[in-house]
Amino acid sequence: PLDKDEIGTATWGFLHSMASYYPKTPTNKQSEDMAKFFHIFAQFYPCEPCALDFQADLKKHPPRTESQDALAKWLCERHNTVNVKLGKPVFDCSKVHERWRDGWLD
Ligand code: FAD
């Protein structure tokens, strides 16, 4: 089985990539479905304490699904909430597209 950190890193990679490929101008249906996706995801994420905290965080900060940029920034902030909880460095969310969509521009 994958351990908590392996699942976490793989899942963040998937979630940030999904946000990066989300439409820039989604339809209402896409926007509603993406919000539902995160609520269902939070119920079944395979680490119980992680899932419970993520559910609580989603209640405070519902998914921002109105555009690719809004979703990518929202997810970056959610990941930072977990980073702070675990004592990891906070990621600069102005660089989220560079990290997960465009590649580092250096
Ligand atoms: P990760 O946090 O896995 O990050 C992977 C890469 O993402 C980093 O190398 C960096 O390049 C990039 N990155 C970092 N921060 C951001 C950001 N804010 N935005 C965009 N990109 C970023 N673990 C626990 O022990 N307890 C928990 O309660 C917990 N809850 C979790 C909840 C969710 C929804 C998920 C997906 C994971 C959770 N984890 C939890 C796992 C934890 O977040 C990490 O994945 C794990 O600790 C491994 O960390 P890492 O240092 O490899 O980097």
Summarize pLDDT for 27-82 with one digit per residue, the tens: 999 999 999 999 999 999 999 999 999 999 999 999 999 999 999 999 999 999 99
Summarize pLDDT for 1-11 with one digit per residue, the tens: 899 999 999 99
Q: Domain of 36: which CATH number?
A: 1.20.120.310
Give the residue, by CA position, lying nearest to ligand 1 atom 10.
91
Q: How many Cα atoms are found within 13 Å in the side-chain-facing hemisphere of 88?
A: 10
Would you list the DSSP string of the chain?
---HHHHHHHHHHHHHHHHHHS-SS--HHHHHHHHHHHHHHHHH-SSHHHHHHHHHHHHHS----SSHHHHHHHHHHHHHHHHHHHTPPPP-GGGHHIIIII----
The residue range of the domain holding 46 is 4-102
Residues 15 and 34: beta-carbon distance below 8 Å = no
What are the structure tokens assigned to 65, written together? 């699904």
Pocket test of ligand 1: the residue of 82, 91, 98 to mutate, having most ligand atoms within 8 Å of its CB, is 82
Domain count, the chain: 1
What are the structure tokens assigned to 39, written together? 């609520």
Give the residue, by CA position, lying nearest to ligand 1 atom 26.
50
